[in-house]
Structure 1
């Protein structure tokens, strides 16, 4: 029975570490704890809680919830590993009575002390294998803290790139480039730059899918509400006599196709063409 409970605790730890791995270093479309939490909060903010502010909180609150679940899962998993072996596999300070401090809550206390690397020493592992396992938990706790910081430092620059692209498109819309502007070397360079920016944003959605669940508002920084104008520019430039402009328009079209494919595969799942996918993206982020 002790071995079975220990294996259950180890399985919980492995599941949490697998989720951290697939969230930060090997993102996949198959879900996981982070994906479930972020999607649930996004849908709740969109359909269950009225108001723009609620939708704006979905992404940040989702990240906080995911990190909290990771930390709690690791601590609970290791506590389940320790509990069946208490008190005989641990040494207690003189002020503590071992039989009175061998409850599940004491196992959780030991786990929290170790994962937080506090090193209080009032209860410490005595058996050889536990003296190896406990430092491993400390390493996992340190890695989890580092992973959380890395996650934040990765997601927010991705958001900045997405919002900067949206603002760039808005500036172009205000400038109102004509067919003559697009039918030139400058027009080709302009479209090339947009294609490169869309490629970066597409990679961001693949590498940091959680960034999708951050609402960009209803202004000029919302890519969901401005991407349609970029498609319009590509359509106009494809008919331009300038060969460079036509080539750049084709590249921008391909970049928009890639963006729509990633959005549909990972988030929207409409199974439709690019125009329908981008319209669904706009609706999902508050557009009409």
Structure 2
């Protein structure tokens, strides 16, 4: 009878081989790689049957916590650093650095025009955000779509407080002008804790980790012929810059929200002085040219 290690290796080999006829080669690669690494993990740490059952129960609880306004699996991916890792390994180095989507993005933000306010409640430190979207070669991208969402000055997203905040507060879907520019009015967001009332919160508590994220504004940028970009703009003086609970801070994304006392400038931006202003250039990478298909040879006919 083979030894335990040999039997374990045989199980892995059999499961990997079970996917050999998967028609899609990329799906085959993903599944076989997952099996190899997951089986290696089991062989390395040797979980007991009870521990594995607990893991299954935990993942079940994560799934049961998800609803239309909360994605606990994204949150779990975030606190394990996987979301940031996936974004990082897919970067090509020619544009603004990407970072995590987070659990509070909604499919449809309200459409807004440049100069509109996304802050619908009228409280908090007034802020103006000025963006410029360009391609990797520096050319401006007109009519680029910029999806914006952020928390309030108290650290809550609209979907977390449906009885307090109007739906769409802190959100907006904008288009850039012919120079690739847009601006909007808002309030300076706060640092905040990620939700801790579910399975991910229990994980953080059990491991002695804090749940806080530094203050930031989210963006998804899309432009014809370019790769979509999901990124943040982090408020430079925010706490937790060096210990983001989801490992998403990148130095290039930290932006100074400077105080402006000029009353004339405030009037031009339709805010009151003093206010904070942040300027952020976003560079998106062109989609690669499709590889030309080889010309058929005589043998192909």
Which structure has the bigger radius of gyration? 1
More strand by share: 2
Instruction: Give the alignment's TM-score, normalised by structure 2.
Output: 0.21
Question: Higher helix proportion, which one?
Answer: 1
| TM-score normalised by the chain length of structure 1 | 0.21
